[in-house]
Structure 1
Amino acid sequence: MRNMGTESSRQLARRVKRNIFFLLVALTTIGFFGLIGPFLLTCFWGAVLAIIFFGVYRKLRVWLGGRDGLAAGLTTLLVVLFVLVPLALLTLALVEQAIAVYNDIQAGNFNTEIIFDFVDDNLPRVASALSEFGVSTDDLRTNLNETVGQAGQYAANWALAFGSGLLNTIIQFTLVIYLLYFFLVDGWKIERALVHTIPMGDNRERTLFARFALVARATLKGTLIVAFVQGAIGGIMFAFLGIPAALLWGVAMMLLALLPVGGSAIIWVPAAIIMFIQGDITSGIIIVVVGALIIGLVDNLLRPLLVGRDTQMPDYLVLISTLGGIAMFGLSGFVIGPTLAALFITVWEMMGRDYGGQRALMEGHTVQAPAVKGPPAAATPPPTSAVPDPPHQ
């Protein structure tokens, strides 16, 4: 009896120590993430860029005879020269045009009432139909003027905020580049350490890392390529037609193209209507043809090819996760949202496969486990891991 009591006391002491240790792990983890909270998005973008450009790093590493640091440095330099520098120049030009548009709005150079003038002069039946619903064109004029004024003020505030926060922006980009270098060099070690440390099962963790890398790569590359192509075509078209602030409208179309629904048509459709109202039929036809056939074709062909197939998610889930991600995380949400949705689906598929079928069998029923689009639990580590092991020297 005394031995049994001593063994129970030891087991109780071990459980207390274990619980205290896990509590300490939880508290220190929460404290650490709270400490680096302002830089979590910076870490996220450093990891995503490492995933995107890991193929370049791996080829350079082989070419340089396995010198990790030099290959990572060259990859980082290529990212700076071909991604960040053009992005910085584009942002500066965008700020200049945003301020110019605001000044034009303040000076009254934009006729924001042209559509309602056209309705009053040429479509009186539409005006009378609106009045039956308690809506007058005068009220719409007032609301439109307020909206345009607020949009101009927002553009000006954004430009001023960008200028005042330029130092913070430079610091954030510098940290992203710094983290990109070390994620390229040590990312595979970090992934291996996480897989071996997190008590969830190594195959599950590798599957989650692989799904994260797959969706982040597909969403970033696919969505950005589609948005950039649509914005570039729209901006070039506006510049060719002599529409003021073509760069600003092109960037606006690019940002709106990040949304799976609506997209750049939110810009070019009203532009075509305004051209028709102004009597510039040729420009209106060009906008409609280019917008519907070329820009729309780019979206319909490239988006499913680059995004939908790799993420293996239905369009409606991509839409709501993108909108939710943008609402919660800002512009970074167009990558974070679909990535979280894909991880959500993967985790639930794992639970259904690993526990749902077993529970049914324990109850005397035979239920087929749901199909999992990722690699099976007993499979070898997937080759699409977030940061694969470097090639053997």
Structure 2
Amino acid sequence: MSDKIKITSSHWVLVIALLASAYTCYLLVEPYINSIVMAFIISLLMFPIHDWIEQRIPTHRNIAALVSCVVLTFIIVVPLLFVFAAIVQQGSTFSQNVYQWVTHGGIQTIFEHPWVVKGLSIVNTYLPFDSVTPQEIAQRIAKFATSFGSNLVGFSAQILGDATSFLMAFFLMLFVLFFLLRDREKIITAIRHILPLSRSQEDKLLDEIEQVSKSAVMGSFLTAIAQGIAGGIGMWLAGFPGLFWGTMMGFASFIPVVGTALIWIPAAAYLFLTGDTTWAIFLTVWSVAVVGSIDNLLRPLLMQGSAGMNTLMIFFSLLGGLHLFGLMGLIYGPLIFAITMVLFNLYEEEFQDFLDRQDQN
């Protein structure tokens, strides 16, 4: 009996020491955790391409992993450089056009619209604000247009100034990705060996992590890209800089509830108030029917099938993930929810007899 107590105590000491060491290791890699997680996610997405490359050179695993990393670099970095340059150019041109439009009396045309006159009258009469005059609004819009251009240039300079940090994070991700692609089977075998679960439970847990990781990227980022492309086409047809506002709509799609409406509603209102009623109606219909349907259909479709997560759970996992982790929360949130659901399912299977007896009592 004493030997049994001694062994149990030593086991507890080992587990506590292991947990403390693991937490310390986490603190060491915590500044780089996003790069590590992204390398893990991208390795899941890149593995079919890597597997095809590895089949061509089966005896050179290092070279195959290196080629996969180079391919990924060209797929991501080169297009981003061209898109970024075009966004800055279109954004600067747009801000200059807005400033000229405001200073040449374009804003006065909007203020003379009957709906705007009535709206300002209601604001000044019933709402507890100071009197709002068209002149004050025009000055603020002109100031915004001027500052928008300078802020865009400053933002671009900041991005260029932070290029070192970005490149460090990117190459760190590539470094981790290289080993994840090269040693994928060894890593999975080591994880299976360490987990104190049965093989079927390990399969279920690892498969769910892989599935949710892919669906989080597909559901969030691909939906944002699709909405950005569709929104950019609509804005371009309506006369706005398509690439710039399409990119803005792509970023806005990450905002829960509001989404791309943050961009297209002011644009449609501007077209309506300036007399382009046909294009205002077109942009509204296009944004609701095309851009909105992408979010309502594509995102749930890509993110369904994860541990029984329904649309409501997906919504709160994205909302909570954004609140706690920022943009990376779009991956972390669904992943945490899905792993929790899998653990609940494993718990239900493991204690099924006990739970059935509890239901009968």
Q: Distance in 2 between matches of 1:263 and 1:99?
A: 24
Higher RCO (C-alpha 8 Å, min separation 6) = 1
User: Match for residue 275 of structure 1?
Assistant: 271
Q: Per the alignment, do residues 77 and 312 of structure 1 end up closer, same or farther by CA in structure 2, a change over 3 Å counting?
A: farther
Q: Per the alignment, do residues 150 and 11 of structure 1 end up closer, same or farther by CA in structure 2, a change over 3 Å counting?
A: farther
Amino acid at match of 1:258: F
2:44 pairs with 1:55: no
Q: Per the alignment, do residues 16 and 297 of structure 1 end up closer, same or farther by CA in structure 2, a change over 3 Å counting?
A: closer
User: Match for residue 345 of structure 1?
Assistant: 341
Kindly tell me the number of residue pairs found equivalent between the two proteins: 355
Contact 2:95–2:146 (CA<8 Å) still a contact in 1?
Answer: no
Q: Per the alignment, do residues 198 and 145 of structure 1 end up closer, same or farther by CA in structure 2, a change over 3 Å counting?
A: farther
Aligned equivalent of 1:360, options 338, 355, 359: 355
Q: Once the 2 structures are TM-superposed, how far is the Cα of residue 48 of structure 1 from its aligned partner? A: 0.2
Contact 2:107–2:138 (CA<8 Å) still a contact in 1?
Answer: no
Contact 2:39–2:173 (CA<8 Å) still a contact in 1?
Answer: yes
User: Match for residue 57 of structure 2?
Assistant: 64
Please give the root-mean-square deviation of Cα atoms over the aligned residues, in Å.
3.5
**Larger mean Cα displacement after TM superposition, 252-261 or 206-215:** 252-261
User: Match for residue 374 of structure 1?
Assistant: none
Q: Once the 2 structures are TM-superposed, how far is the Cα of residue 150 of structure 1 from its aligned partner? A: 12
Contact 1:324–1:337 (CA<8 Å) still a contact in 2?
Answer: yes
Render the CA deviation track for 1:62-102: whole Å, top value 9, x for unaligned.
34346433332332222112223212332344355556667
Contact 1:219–1:335 (CA<8 Å) still a contact in 2?
Answer: yes
Q: Distance in 1 between matches of 2:65 and 2:180?
A: 9
User: Match for residue 73 of structure 2?
Assistant: 80
SS of 1:324's partner is helix
User: Match for residue 28 of structure 2?
Assistant: 35
2:119 pairs with 1:122: no
Contact 1:261–1:319 (CA<8 Å) still a contact in 2?
Answer: no
Q: Which runs of 5+ in 1 are unaligned?
A: 1-6, 368-393
Q: Distance in 2 between matches of 1:150 and 1:350?
A: 59
Q: Distance in 1 between matches of 2:306 and 2:325?
A: 23
Q: Which runs of 5+ in 2 are unaligned?
A: none
Render the CA deviation track for 1:117-141: whole Å, top value 9, x for unaligned.
8467513544444332424661896
2:166 pairs with 1:169: yes
Q: Once the 2 structures are TM-superposed, how far is the Cα of residue 334 of structure 1 from its aligned partner? A: 1.4
Q: Once the 2 structures are TM-superposed, how far is the Cα of residue 44 of structure 1 from its aligned partner? A: 0.2
Amino acid at match of 1:266: L
Q: Distance in 2 between matches of 1:213 and 1:275?
A: 45
Render the CA deviation track for 1:28-79: whole Å, top value 9, x for unaligned.
1111110011110100000000001112222332343464333323322221
Q: How does 1:1-393 map to 2 (within 5 A)?
A: 8=2, 10-65=3-58, 67-95=60-88, 108-109=99-100, 111=102, 118=110, 121-123=113-115, 124-130=117-123, 131-135=125-129, 138=132, 145=140, 152=148, 155=152, 158-244=155-241, 246-259=242-255, 261-309=257-305, 312-355=308-351, 357-363=352-358, 365-366=359-360
Higher helix share: 2
Amino acid at match of 1:50: S
Contact 1:57–1:184 (CA<8 Å) still a contact in 2?
Answer: yes
Q: TM-score, normalised by structure 2?
A: 0.83
Q: Distance in 2 between matches of 1:334 and 1:240?
A: 31
Q: TM-score, normalised by structure 1?
A: 0.77
Render the CA deviation track for 1:282-335: whole Å, top value 9, x for unaligned.
332331232223223333442333223457422222222112212222222212
Report sequence identity in percent: 22
Q: Distance in 2 between matches of 1:350 and 1:116?
A: 66
